[in-house]
Amino acid sequence: MSGVPQRAFVALGSNLGDRRACLDGALRRLSGTPLVRVLAASDWIETEPVGGPSGQGRYLNGVVELETALAPRELLELLLALEREAGRDRTREQRHGPRTLDLDLLLYGEERLSEPDLLVPHPRLEERIFVLQPLAQIAPERRLPGCRLTVRERLAELCAPGRVSEGA
């Protein structure tokens, strides 16, 4: 355990089954986990899939802000366990394919971690509109480590007229 509570941001997404129920369930489970306190949650935003196989259903995406005394690795293990409980099997799925639940650790305090299966800040965070939109609802003035703009500023930049982006 890290001991000292840290602020963490987690992205939630689903495009299979009852998407809203799956996301609501994950949020309830996070809220009920010892050493984790949900401070804020965005609305669920419907978005088109980015990458992956064609013909996927639309996603519901959101972001939660947590205060946690769990270490980054412990928090990641919790997120992976919640995905498994929702029926996700990362070993059998296609990359960027449909999923019942996708939980990504976006930020953990000011830490930068680069381990084989744990990268913080999350790669491409600053390029993904489907992550920045809900993040802007709960932390618009949070500075993004990858580009030093606030979430609000980066989202405006990506949504500027005429701009084409992977995260659109």
Question: What are 71-94's pLDDT values in tens digits?
Answer: 999 999 999 999 999 887 777 766
Q: Which of 99, 142, 152, 154 is catalytic?
A: 99
**Three-class SS of residue 7?**
strand
Answer for the pair 121, 145: CB distance below 8 angstroms, yes or no. Answer: yes
Domain assignments of the chain as residue spans, ordered by start: 6-122
Q: Which of 7, 92, 102, 142 is catalytic?
A: 102
Q: Which of 7, 28, 29, 104 is catalytic?
A: 104
Is 18 noted as a catalytic residue in this protein?
Answer: no
Contacts of 81 (CB under 8 A, 6+ apart): none
How does DSSP assign 92-156, residue by residue?
TSPTT---S-EEEEEEETT--EEETTEEESPTTGGG-HHHHHHHHHH-TTPBPTTTSSBHHHHHH
Mean local confidence (pLDDT), 108-133: 93
Is 88 noted as a catalytic residue in this protein?
Answer: yes
Is 99 noted as a catalytic residue in this protein?
Answer: yes
* pLDDT of 164 higher than 70: no
Report in angstroms the alpha-carbon separations of 76 from 1, 33, 60, 136, 154. 12, 13, 21, 22, 26
Is 28 noted as a catalytic residue in this protein?
Answer: no
In this structure, the number of other CB atoms found within 10 A of the CB of residue 88 comes to 20
Give me the half-sphere count of Cα atoms (radius 13 Å) on the Cβ side of residue 165. 21
Q: Which of 20, 58, 73, 88 is catalytic?
A: 88
Range 6-122: architecture per CATH:
2-Layer Sandwich (3.30)
pTM: 0.91
